[in-house]
Structures are given as C-alpha cells and as structure tokens.
Amino acid sequence: VTPIELSERVIARDRRAVAKAISLIENDSAGTAELLRALAPRGRNAYRVGITGPPGAGKSTLTSEMTKALREQGKTVGIIAIDPTSPFTGGALLGDRIRMQAVSMDPGVYVRSMATRGSLGGLSAKAKDAADVLDAAGFDYVLFETVGVGQSELDIAKAADTTIVVLVPESGDSIQAMKSGLMEIADFFVLNKSDREGADQAVLALKTILMFRITHAEDEWIPEVLKTVASKAVGVPEVLAEIERHRVHLINTGELDVRRKSRERERILELVDAMLRIDFWTHDRKESLEHSLITILKGEATSYDLAHSLVREFHKVYS
Ligand SMILES: Nc1nc2c(ncn2[C@@H]2O[C@H](COP(=O)(O)OP(=O)(O)OP(=O)(O)O)[C@@H](O)[C@H]2O)c(=O)[nH]1
Ligand SMILES: [Mg+2]
C-alpha cells in the first residue's frame, strides 16, 4: 500500500492500518513523511495525557480504569505503552498486554506498545508521531504510559498535553520524585495504592513539597494530589475530572497552544539535527576523520581543527 492509501485506511480507523502506520514511524520507514502529511488535516483533536511514574506504581492498571471510564462517557481512547529500554516485547509489556486485553477488545480502544528503533528522534518524538496517527484515526484521547524510570519519563511530558505522575505510599517516593525531576513535569499527582499504609502521610509530604513551589504568578496552576486505588477503580472519576480541569485551564490561559507549538518546535529541531547528522557522516567523512586522529595525538592538530575542517568541507559541498 502507498502512504496515501494507508492514510485513508487510518482515517477510517482500520486497526491494521493504524498498526502499520505506527510501525512505519517506529522504524523511520520510507513513506513516513508522506503518511503524516496526508494525516495532518485530520488531526489536532485528540487530547493527549501522559501517565508516568516508578515501575509497578499501577500505571497500567490506572490507564485501563481511566479508559473504561472514558468509554462510559462515550469517548474513544488510544493507548501507547512506551518501552524505552527493550526494542523487543519484554515481560512487562506482555503483562500490560494481558491487563489491557479487556479494554482492547473494544473497537473504541486501541492499545499499542512502542519502542524506538530508528534514528529520527527519541521516545517522546516517536510517541508524538504515533499520537498524531491515533489523532487522525479519530480517537478522542491518547494516553501514553511510560514504563521504567529516567529521562524517558521526563521526555513524555513533551508529547502530552497533561502529564500525570503516579506515585505510591512507600516512604521516600516523594523525595525520589523531587530528585528525579518528576515534580517539574507533573500537572498533577496520583497517589495510587492508597489502600496501603502511609497514604495520607505521603499525600501530605507531596503537598508540602508542592507548597514550596508556589510562585503566586497570575494564572498559576497548582498541581493537586489525588488518591486512587486503581485496582478497585477508586478515585478514577476524580482523575478524569482533574484532567478536564487542567485542559480547561490550558485553554483559558492559552497555554495549550504554547505547549503544542513547543512540541512541534522540539520535533523539528530533533528532526533537523538527525537529518543533518545522517547527511554529514558519510562513509568518506568517517574515514577521513579516522585517518586524521593521529595528528591530534602527535600534537599537530586539535579536535577543533578537525571539526572545523570537516564542517568547512561539508559547507563547500552544499554551496
Ligand atoms: N494494593 C494495590 N495494588 C495495586 C493498585 N493498583 C495496582 N496495583 C497492583 O500493582 C501491580 C502493578 O500494577 P501495574 O498497573 O502493572 O503497574 P505499572 O506502573 O504499570 O507497572 P510497570 O509498567 O511494570 O512499571 C499489579 O499487581 C496491580 O494489580 C492499588 O491501587 N492498590
Ligand atoms: Mg505498566
């Protein structure tokens, strides 16, 4: 199928076409640009929510329950579970798949695991592009779940309109969140597993930390801390209500457009970087660099000299 044919099937919400389209993106396959171009006029309607937090916090359980609740409201939901570590389907994802099976039998729900294999962008970029596909396919919500910890969790905020950080009562979680930069990306917090001991103290600890961050700026959004028991669907309507409250806030302050523009800007910067790098590092240039390295060791040149001469030569080729 051509990218145009594929785009038509995506717009008709053909599940196999959606799967194929996301695979194209995942692998930087030829036709990706044309596909996204054809889908572009159809998108820009889905609301994108990132669900992140430490391993085992209950992100998948919460995502499933949120999906069920959204379906009851008549909304359609696309879910992207992102695995930053393994390009293959790992154990965690398999577990997710089983957990998500109940919701994914529903034609109004699409569940997809995703890895980043290609070189034209990182995790958040690929997640964004995949969300563009689901958006064009007419899903009302796109939920991203990030598995694991680290930079990928922080990056997901770039792909989402609203980012939820899921924590659990275990002591030290809020301190951990503060250290790892999760505090900065959270539009609100969910303290899941609040059926466990220490939930109220954990909420208090989080709220105390958050209090220090209040700047009293006009239109300031102050992140809430909500308690849930995802495994019993407790607190889920409140989570959806908070997403809605945040969405309205973003619209009223103009911040939604700011976020969406910044998402596109980041994506373009990343694509240009990757494209230039691919054009630049031809076999010949790599060889030439390899042969010159010895001059540095001999003290006859510096790394700056070699970089400058490579770039100068590159500019000559393109002028
Ligand atoms: N007690 C309790 N257990 C929960 C709750 N929510 C989820 N769990 C359980 O916690 C375990 C992990 O839940 P997941 O939803 O897989 O957590 P996750 O954050 O998606 O995990 P990873 O994707 O592996 O990082 C499962 O056994 C869930 O049944 C809760 O509110 N209370
Ligand atoms: Mg999970």
Are the CB atoms for 146 and 170 separated by under 8 Å?
A: no
Q: Is the pLDDT of residue 15 over 90?
A: yes
Q: Give residue 191's pLDDT band: very low, low, confident or very high (50, 70, 90).
A: very high
* Residues 49-93 pLDDT 10s: 999 888 888 998 999 999 999 999 999 999 998 865 544 444 445
Q: Which atom of ligand 1 is nearest to the CA of 196?
A: 1
Is 0.85 topped by the overall pTM?
Answer: yes
**Using a 6 Å cutoff on CB, does residue 55 contact ligand 1?**
yes
Of the listed ligands, the closest to the CA of 57 is 1
> What percent of the chain has a predicted confidence (pLDDT) above 70?
88
**Using a 6 Å cutoff on CB, does residue 193 contact ligand 1?**
yes
Of the listed ligands, the closest to the CA of 54 is 1
Which pLDDT belongs to residue 91?
42
Which pLDDT belongs to residue 86?
43
Q: CA 247 → CA 36, 50, 133, 250, 318, distances in Å?
A: 25, 13, 21, 5, 45
**Using a 6 Å cutoff on CB, does residue 25 contact ligand 1?**
no
* Residues 257-296 pLDDT 10s: 999 999 899 889 989 998 999 999 999 999 999 999 999 9
Q: How many whole angstroms from 73 Cα to the centroid of ligand 2? A: 24
| Sheet-wide strand order for 47-52 | 109-114, 77-82, 141-146, 47-52, 162-167, 188-191, 225-227
181 — phi, psi (to 5°)? 90, 5
Q: Give residue 22's pLDDT band: very low, low, confident or very high (50, 70, 90).
A: very high
Q: What HEC string does the chain produce?
A: CCHHHHHHHHHCCCHHHHHHHHHHHHCCCCCHHHHHHHHHHHCCCCEEEEEECCCCCCHHHHHHHHHHHHHHCCCCEEEEEECCCCCCCCHHHHHHHHHHHHHHCCCCEEEEEECCCCCCCCHHHHHHHHHHHHHHCCCCEEEEEECCCCHHHHHHHHHCCEEEEEECCCCCHHHHHHHHCHHHHCCEEEECCCCCCCHHHHHHHHHHHHHCCCCCCCCCCCCCEEECEHHHCECHHHHHHHHHHHHHHHHHHCHHHHHHHHHHHHHHHHHHHHHHHHHHCCHHHHHHHHHHHHHHHCCCCCHHHHHHHHHHHHHHHHC
Mean pLDDT across the stretch 102-125? 77
**162, burial (CB in 10 Å: exposed 0-12, middle 13-18, buried 19+):** buried
Q: How many whole angstroms from 231 Cα to the centroid of ligand 1? A: 7
Distance, CA of 143 to CA of 71 (rounded, Å) = 13
**Using a 6 Å cutoff on CB, does residue 63 contact ligand 1?**
no
Nearest protein CA to atom 3 of ligand 1, as residue: 193
Q: How many whole angstroms from 122 Cα to the centroid of ligand 1? A: 26
Distance, CA of 162 to CA of 260 (rounded, Å) = 11
Q: Is the pLDDT of residue 103 over 80?
A: no
Q: Which of 61, 98, 99 to mutate to test the pocket of ligand 1 (most atoms within 8 A of CB)?
A: 61
**Using a 6 Å cutoff on CB, does residue 57 contact ligand 1?**
yes
Q: Give residue 313's pLDDT band: very low, low, confident or very high (50, 70, 90).
A: very high
Q: Which atom of ligand 1 is nearest to the CA of 232?
A: 31
